[in-house]
Structure 1
Amino acid sequence: MPLDNDALNHLAEHFGIATEFWDWKGRHTQISESAVVTILGALGIDASTPETAAAAVDEIRIRRWRRALPACVVMEQGQVRTIDVHVPGGSPAGVSVRTEDGRLIPLGQTVNDEADRDIEGVWTGEASFVLPADLPLGYHRLVLFNEGREQESSLIVTPIFVGFPRSLGDRRVWGYATQLYSVRSSRSWGVGDLIDLTDLSTWARTQTYADYILVNPLHAAQPVAPMEPSPYLPSSRTYVNPLYLRPEAIPEFAGVDDSTRDRIERLRSKLWDDLAGAVQIKRNEAMAAKLEALEILYQVGLPPARQMAFEGFLRREGRSLRDFAVWSALYEVHGPDWRQWPEALRRPTSPEVAEFAREHADRVRFFEWLQWNCDHQVSLAQQAAKDAGMALGLIQDLAVGVSGAGADTWRLADVFAQGVTVGAPPDQFNQSGQDWGQPPWRPDRLADLAYAPFRELVAGVLRHAGGVRIDHIIGLFRLWWVPAGGSPQDGAYVRYDHEALIGILALEAYRAGALVIGEDLGTVEPWVRDYLSRRGLLGTSVLWFENLPDGSPLPAENWREYCMASVTTHDLPPTTGYLAGDHVRLRHDLGLLTETLEEELAHNEEEQRRLLTHLHDLGLIVPEEGVDEVESTVLGMHRFLLRTPARVLNVALTDAVGDRLTQNQPGTIDEYPNWRVPLSGPDGEPMLLEDVYCSERAMRLSAVMNGFQTVPAPWGPR
């Protein structure tokens, strides 16, 4: 339903602001005029009065005529596309494509009957040129030749279809999903790290024949304590959290003298003593101890070949890494929120920031050194997984956004919308809606920059991975923008150029030979899943959510082939907890239900009855000697996944070891210890990675996933 103000309607349509939507119960909802005005303000458009809104419409109508070339054109290979260029009226024009390898491909001109226009005193004409279907994949340049001058813009040609890496052939794969910080070993520093990931991958492949490990986002948090616990609210998605470094795995550690080695070991031992009895992950304490050890190793220096490698890394990363490291050093001096720093330090290009960087050059270099070592240890994890025989290895998770106080919003402030945050409208699992506290990217600024920030982000994540999971992939189509100070119900959807974003994602995945999995749960327009399937990107199917309109389970044969199929997700309890109704009682205790506890429990019990009856009827829940009823049910649920056509199957590591504790309760921050729960056994006691190696439950579940008739004995200390 349109708004009453025609100018606002025009602006909303131009900037992709939806003025209505249908909620999770199928109810039609009208967006308020004030929400549209606020969101337009976040895009730099003053529509606060009818006069300013009308002026903004006039400006938009002539804006494209001021551009000689469109800022960025993204097209699928094999398609034909027409572009319009603008030149002084009556003057001849020619357009060519300059490809990545330097070739110049002239474009043919086509008919354009648009009359010349007076644009701010200059008569301007429009001409149209055809981009042919046989252009090569890649990042190219459009070149306009007019009156002896050349002007350029970006052209990105993307694959029509990504699909599965060639190395997989037609076979199905399965693997584990885990929250890395929760998987601690006896040699880590109180938090699961990249060497633990390396060892977990080796166990997963050699003992259970898994083909990948899907981990939580490894994105950078704060450089020093206190640290944000959520891996989905990072300070930067481009760089890695040094919390995941293992100091002893840095090559220079091997050459230190005994005194230095002892200092580092004492730091780790003291940390474990301090953490004794802790029931939650203690990031702040772990980071403080680890940073002290890393600073010791940094002072050791680098041998010549390592120094050359470090300098090569700095050249490759360029200004982005430099700015991130400067932000980290500024953070230590001026505090956690750059928006509260002295005015002169709020822009990375200011003279004052340059002076600070010179005065703190060694500290800036230290933060660059940390990222170099992070990159190295992520690479080690992926290489170890592949060496062990995994088809994919590491699948990295890409969070939907970043903290408004973080490094990325400081580095790229003009790319982020101000005065709004990203969230979600009310849905079944959070009936008050959600505000994730993250500023969204501006669709218009991304296009102006030829999507360079997104390209950099995706390429970095796929550098050392066999795949990427895109959290809330619907965010590449539309995001729910919440006006600052308002509730999630006051928001509206804002559309993004999904053709461009999905296309770039497809191009980077194609070049990396990687798999792309989109988390497409929640309120999703049906055509979006069709589009993802057409482009060869996998969706996400969770057993609890795959139902027919009447609420009965979707038959296995009707599941998608192009999906990652699982029983649970990190936003739900492990399956044993879900079966017990832990998620319902927890949301009741936290005040997140809009219906009574009794009603929600009854709904949950009915949902479970339908599913479990279906599994029993299929003969999938089989009593086994030494296996209790709950574990038998969990095994039966995973047997069901094997009956679907899904090409990628996923097992939560928590399900494999019998953990019951919820990692994250959406809609809460500190009301529940989100992202601070260690991996635990069926008894609720924290377990180490070495305990996973000996888990008989894990071996039973892996036997199901592999279709084995008998259960291999778990490897353990001998």
Structure 2
Amino acid sequence: MRCAAGPLVRWQYRPVTQETTPTDDVPADLRELAHLHGVRTEFHGFDGTVQQVRASTLVAVLEALGVQAASPQQVSLSLALARDEEWRHVLPPTLVVRQGAPSTVPVHVSHGAEAHVWVEIDGAEPHALARARRERRDLRQLETFVEPRTVDGRRVGRATFEVPTDLPLGWHSLHVSSEGSEARSTLVVTPQRLTLPPAVEDGQVWGLLVQLYSVRSRTSWGLGDLADLADVAWLAAHRGGADFVAVNPLNAAEPVTPMTPSPYLPTSRRFLNPVYVRVEDIPETAYLSAADRSLVEWAAEPVRAMATDPGPIDRDAVWEAKRAALEVVFTAPRRAARQAAFEAFVAEQGPGLRDFATWCAITEHLAGQEWPAELSSPDSPAVAALREQLAERVEFHCWLQWVADEQKSTAQRIACEAGMKIGVMHDLAVGVHPYGADAWANGAYLARGVEVGAPPDMYNQQGQNWSQPPWNPRALERAGYAPYRDMLRTVLRHAGALRVDHVLGLFRLWWIPGGSRASAGAYVTYDHEALVGILCLEAHRAGAVVVGEDLGVFEPWVRDYLADRGILGTSVLWFEQEEGRPLPPERYRHLTMASVGTHDMPPAAGYLAGEHVDLRERLGLLTEPAAVVRQRARTERDTYVQALTERGLLGEDPSEREVVEAMHRYLRAAPAALLGVQLVDAVGERRSQNQPGTDQEYPNWKVPLGDSNGTPILLEDLFESQRLRSLVAALNASR
């Protein structure tokens, strides 16, 4: 699912200096300082043993959080600051509560001073400042005594106020007036839990899991696009009875080639990749002059011919062709209503869109050169001057987001009109490219000098480094979670559901100091009540189902917590076992999306044949003798075939197709709310879309959809596939 950072040109910034300590023993005061800032000093290894985090790692991670800890003196000073930190603020930077649940807010003022506290409804919405009058609710002070404290030479008291339980869902502002001054912070009221749509609550529904770029048609430009997505949804609903189509992240990549192929390493998690735009579906294309229309056709012709090429998908060629055509369409006049709609979209998306488009324009302008230091911040005078100089390109990239958003909306509308109960399920990657648009625009809210990854496990014994900068939890809280909110709102536009990659990252993330091994990291905790609550709030407003990828190492309570908030988990047939045997389907969780495999695993056909072992052997990824791994894979296959046979789902000497269908019928008997069917499994594809642990050694995220022989299958022929039709019939007959 992850890969190393791509070829984006870096801009300059001051890296965090990592100072090491002469011993791995962690002093008690450093341990306390780490705990106060949410940095865990130990973790459970995949073998169940407790591992201690090195002192040098704690120092580097704390410094990435803006906490000085390189010497005993710095630790002592930082510890004194941390102990009194909340008392220095009149209000918490952000308060996130659940609607209907009792909650309070601490208010710190001079000891003995009176304080008046109130809430302004919707006062933290982006448009709030433009509203002259808002509904106001006063808060009642509780008779709760807290011993006052001397902070920075000032006697500070704490008053406790009750937050009304009947506040509406949304983003409000909290205000305090005391001694002639006023303080303000953000108050977010979130739903107790998300509720599934009634149509889904009534019983399990199934849908296709699709890598959209791989599903090409005769009219797409060598890569599956948003028009193809609409067609897949319509066909899956009408000819298969599917209720959703889940796709890979469609988030923005570089605006210039080479384009990072991994959809899980976008330059922005908020905005879309215009490579998925269908040029001919933009209304202005119909009004091009004959000469301009010829330019569009000439751009399309060579890449359309790539649709039947069985080799790796060439994103760079596709984007070069599409960009040339889109630049022609961009210059076409727009009707008054269309122009007004474009301007409304730009206004609605606000500064975030402007900054993203500016980054794209500057990236083009620099053409591979190093970013100078004066362009390292979107608020710098040099950026403002360049934004004005490149105004037309900035507008072009805003326009690309508008037309992509329109086509994304069309895909969801067509899916729903076709009868789907959910429609399109979009995917949210765990992070962004370290030198991409989000890292540039949201640099103030990200931690520098560290990268996100995972500690060693039985599959990746050196650990994993995903090269992505993490949110700084303190900075995010100080910002009222606005960058997180804005990202979620854009991703959830026109979505029937959202899959959150590595949802455990809303609870904790493995931070790796720059230059260190992936194993030399530490877990940093996040305010999961805030992050999950805001996710629930924005999904509720969008009317979307949320699925969290909750695979990996985690505390048992995490899954219970997500289920309590109405967020579905993930159940993978190959991983659901007990005592070495497949977990009976009746034992599966209800609030989950079940599937046979994942996009990080070979398709079922390849897995059953042990081709994943052959591939890993060829790539030098095995840590054990190939014969041992191959025998283990055969044993695993035989165990599953036996379980399927015992349930009467298979006869003697079953074919590969029969085993794959039986696996899906097995999951059909589970109480899981959703059943995801990987499109590659439905057509008999054997090649992996992604081989973890590789970068250039394997064509990750470039494999076109094909049959068991690797022969390309085009969208027009997809539902003529006998293998797909047989699997669909088996699924629908099982209910």
The interval holding the TM-score normalised by the smaller chain is over 0.9
- Of stretches 409-418 and 95-104 in structure 1, the one that deviates more from structure 2 is 95-104
Unaligned runs of 5+ in 2: 1-23, 124-133
Partner of 2:92: 70
1:430–1:593 contact (8 Å) kept in structure 2: no
1:543 maps to a residue whose letter is L
Partner residue, 1:552: 581
- Work out which of the residue numbers 48, 53, 56 in structure 2 matches 1:26: 48
Moved more, 700-709 or 262-271: 700-709
Q: CA deviation at 1:57?
A: 0.6
Question: SS in structure 2 opposite 1:520?
Answer: coil
Partner Cα distance (1:260, 1:591) in 2: 51
Structure 2 match to 1:384: 414
* Alignment match, 1:716: none
- Map 1:63-142 onto structure 2 (within 5 A): 63-100=85-122, 102-142=134-174
Aligned position for 2:363: 331
CA RMSD of aligned residues (A): 1.7
Higher relative contact order (CA 8 A, sep 6+): 2
Q: Give the aligned residue type for 1:143.
A: H
What amino acid is the match of 1:689?
L
1:560-639 pair list within 5 angstroms:
560-622=589-651, 629-639=655-665
Larger CA deviation: 415-424 vs 20-29: 20-29
Shift of 1:216: 0.2
- 1:28 Cα shift? 2.2
Q: Please tell me whether residue 394 in structure 1 is matched to residue 424 in structure 2.
A: yes
TM-score (normalizing by structure 1): 0.95
Distance 1:663 1:684, change over 3 A: same
- Counterparts in 2 of 1:365-380, with a 5 A limit? 365-380=395-410
Q: What are the Cα deviations for residues 427-451 of structure 1, in whole angstroms up to 9, with x where unaligned?
A: 2332322111111111111111111
Q: TM-score, normalised by structure 2?
A: 0.93
Q: Secondary structure of the residue that 2:262 maps to in structure 1? A: coil
Q: Name segments (4+ residues, structure 1) moved above 6 Å.
A: none
Instruction: Count the aligned residue pairs.
Output: 702
Structure 1 position 315, deviation (Å): 0.5
Match of 1:220 among 214, 232, 252: 252
- 1:150-193 per-position Cα deviation (integer Å, ceiling 9, x unaligned): 32111111111113124534232100001100011010111110
| Counterparts of 1:644 and 1:277, CA distance in 2 | 39
- Provide the secondary structure at the position in 2 that maps to 1:4: coil
**1:654 counterpart residue number:** 680
Alpha-carbon separation, structure 2, partners of 1:623 and 1:99 = 66
Q: 1:437-452 residue pairs with structure 2 within 5 A?
A: 437-452=467-482
Single out whichever of 312-321 and 524-533 deviates more from structure 2: 524-533
Pair 1:427-2:457 in alignment: yes
Per the alignment, in what secondary structure is the counterpart of residue 386 of structure 1? helix
Residue by residue, what CA displacement relative to the aligned partner does 1:236-290 show, whole Å, maximum 9, x if unpaired? 0010000000110100011112332222112111234578746001000100000
Alignment of 1:198-347 (within 5 A): 198-273=230-305, 277=309, 279-335=311-367, 340-347=370-377
Distance 2:318 2:359 in 1: 22
Partners of 1:622 and 1:444 in 2: CA distance: 58
* Alignment deviations for residues 165-224 of structure 1 (CA, whole Å, 9 cap, x no partner): 245342321000011000110101111100010111111001001000000000000011
For 1:375 and 1:323, how far apart are their aligned partners in 2?
17
| CA spacing shift, 1:530–1:150, aligned 2, 3 Å | same
Aligned AA (2:248): N
Contact 1:220/1:234, CA 8 A, preserved across alignment: yes
For residues 537-577 of structure 1, what are the alpha-carbon distances to aligned partners after superposition, in whole Å with 9 as ceiling and x for unaligned? 100000000001x2111111110000000001100010001
Which residue of the other structure, out of 654, 676, 687, is the alignment partner of 2:702?
A: 676
Would the aligned equivalents of 1:166 and 1:513 in 2 still touch at CA under 8 Å?
no
Q: Could you give the per-residue CA deviations for residues 501-547 of structure 1, whole angstroms, max 9, x where no partner exists?
A: 11011111111211000001121221111111111110000000000
Q: Please report how far the alpha carbon of residue 595 of structure 1 lies from its aligned counterpart in structure 2 after TM superposition.
A: 2.2
Contact 1:232 1:401 (C-alpha < 8 Å) held by counterparts? yes
Q: Which residue of 1 aligns with 2:12?
A: none
Note the C-alpha offset of 1:19.
1.4
What is the alpha-carbon distance in structure 1 between the residues aligned to residue 358 and residue 567 of structure 2?
Answer: 36
Gaps of 5+ in 1: 710-718
Question: Equivalent residue for 1:712?
Answer: none
Q: How does 1:681-696 map to 2 (within 5 A)?
A: 681-696=707-722
- The 8 Å contact of residues 585 and 666 in structure 2, kept in 1 or not, is answered as yes
Contact 1:435 1:667 in 2 (8 A): no
C-alpha deviation, 1:672, in angstroms: 1.1
| Counterpart Cα distance in 2 of 1:244 and 1:359 | 28
From 188, 191, 199, give the equivalent of 1:159.
Answer: 191
SS at match of 2:420: coil
Structure 1 stretch 356-365 or stretch 148-157: which is displaced more?
148-157
Same amino acid, percent of matched pairs: 47
State whether residues 20 and 31 of structure 1, in contact with CA within 8 Å, keep that contact through their aligned partners in structure 2: yes
In 1, are the aligned partners of 2:246 and 2:425 still within 8 Å (CA)? yes
Contact 1:97 1:105 in 2 (8 A): yes
1:197 alignment partner, SS class: helix
- Contact 1:189–1:286 (CA<8 Å) still a contact in 2? yes
- Name the residue aligned to 1:59: 81
Work out which of the residue numbers 49, 52, 70 in structure 1 matches 2:71: 49
1:336 and 1:152, CA in 2 relative to 1: closer, same or farther beyond 3 A?
farther
Q: Which amino acid aligns with 1:94?
A: H
Query: Which residue, 512, 521, 544 being the options, matches 1:491?
Result: 521
2:433 to 391, 400, 403: 403
